[in-house]
Chain A
């Protein structure tokens, strides 16, 4: 049956409407999880708050298990799912820059907009910087093109590169996620709580 748009169940004209609704829901969940606070977000780096880890890993875990079952039931065809191509160089370089920005600014792009929505000044400055960065990147793109498209691996998935089955990977991921939650709770116990 699914993906609904690719198989013609929903007209592609609805793309933007659906994107808007999903975006609103995403923003709401971010705000409801407390992601509009830069202190809470930065907490994952200092070890006093792991809500970022918990929320995102839970989301990935639930989606992953759900997709495996949906695929089996024929409700969605995983071979038709768009998989973002992996560019190794830009993933590493971009990841480092994004991480630095995250720990310095206390926001990632999505959460900064949530922060702006609830009226956080630091989030406002962060998103101005974000657009400045996009602008500079666009101007510098001819020089950065090589890095940007470097290490092209195509739309590869972890289970393909590890050579294990989808089910096994899902199970290992669930265990790893729960393990990460446990480690996070251990770390949190040792670090002094701070006022958020």
Chain B
């Protein structure tokens, strides 16, 4: 027998035998823990309330604001244009993103900002989704508590503060007017705004043959 044939036969048998030990399930795309850790420590995963407010006012179509609190709390108050994905219902029993949210999360070119009352729920949602390989996720630092402090009830800066802070304060006053009617202490109840999700392109069934 030709030497080349012999080698080819050995290679093909070895590869075939290797197929015996390959698990049927696909190689998972979960983010490895070390990389997750690096990402968690990256401060750029936070956005400020000002950035979120600006995005809402500008009507930025690339940002999806996700409320990770329960549905009751969402009904009581939410940011305009936000989507309610309660943290408890984010993951289904199989450990993947629940089917209901698949159309919202992981859309290419879409930035997602999670918020909750504080940082905790939003952070947890961020970790879960990042671990499942979804990119472009952010957490609104300070949550709604911070939102009320900075956007709805902004306090004026010190007289000696730098000009940027006054500019920021001006913006916040404007935003406060936009969101709450101007320094309103009682926050108006806002009804949930229906959001039309950008449907992810369904995987096409390939047709044809030889």
Contact = CB atoms under 8 A, between A and B. Distances in A.
Contacts of A173: 16
B201 A167 contact: no
A6 B209 CA distance: 15
Given A6-B206, A61-B12, A168 B201 contact: no
Given A165-B24, A167-B20, A174 B206 contact: no
B29 A170 contact: no
A182 to B, nearest CB: 10
B109 interface: no
A84 B209 contact: yes
Given A7-B203, A8-B201, A82-B206, A178 B12 contact: yes
B208 A82 contact: yes
A72 B24 CA distance: 8
Contacts of A73: 27
Given A8-B201, A61-B12, A65-B15, A3 B206 contact: yes
Contact of B12 (A3, A8, A65, A165): A65
A72 B16 contact: no
For chain B, what secondary structure do more than half of its interface residues adopt (helix, strand, loop), or is it mixed? loop
B10 to A, nearest CB: 10
Nearest to A170: B19
Interface string A149-169: 000000000000000011110
B43 to A, nearest CB: 31
A171 B206 contact: no
Nearest to A78: B26
Interface in B1-25: 9, 12-13, 15-24
A174 B19 CA distance: 10
Given A72-B22, A72-B23, A82-B209, A174 B204 contact: no
A96 B12 CA distance: 32
A142 interface: no
A171 B22 CA distance: 11
Contacts of A168: 20
Nearest to A172: B16
Contacts of A74: 26-27, 29
A138 interface: no
Contacts of B206: 3, 5-6, 80-82
A57 to B, nearest CB: 11
A46 interface: no
Contacts of B22: 68-69, 72, 166-167
Interface string A63-88: 00100110111100100111010000
A65 B203 contact: no
Highest count of chain A CB atoms <10 Å: which of B19, B29, B201, B203: B19
Nearest to B18: A69
A167 B26 contact: no
A175 interface: yes
A5 B22 CA distance: 26
Contact of B21 (A5, A77, A167): A167
Contact of B16 (A12, A82, A171): A171
10 contacts: A12-B204, A72-B23, A72-B27, A74-B26, A74-B29, A167-B22, A171-B20, A173-B16, A174-B12, A174-B15
Interface of A: 3, 5-8, 12, 61-62, 65, 68-69, 71-74, 77, 80-82, 84, 165-168, 170-171, 173-175, 178
Interface of B: 9, 12-13, 15-24, 26-27, 29, 201, 203-209
Please give me the 9 A-B residue pairs with the lowest Cβ-Cβ distance, nearest first.
A174-B16, A82-B206, A170-B19, A167-B19, A74-B27, A167-B20, A171-B16, A68-B19, A84-B209
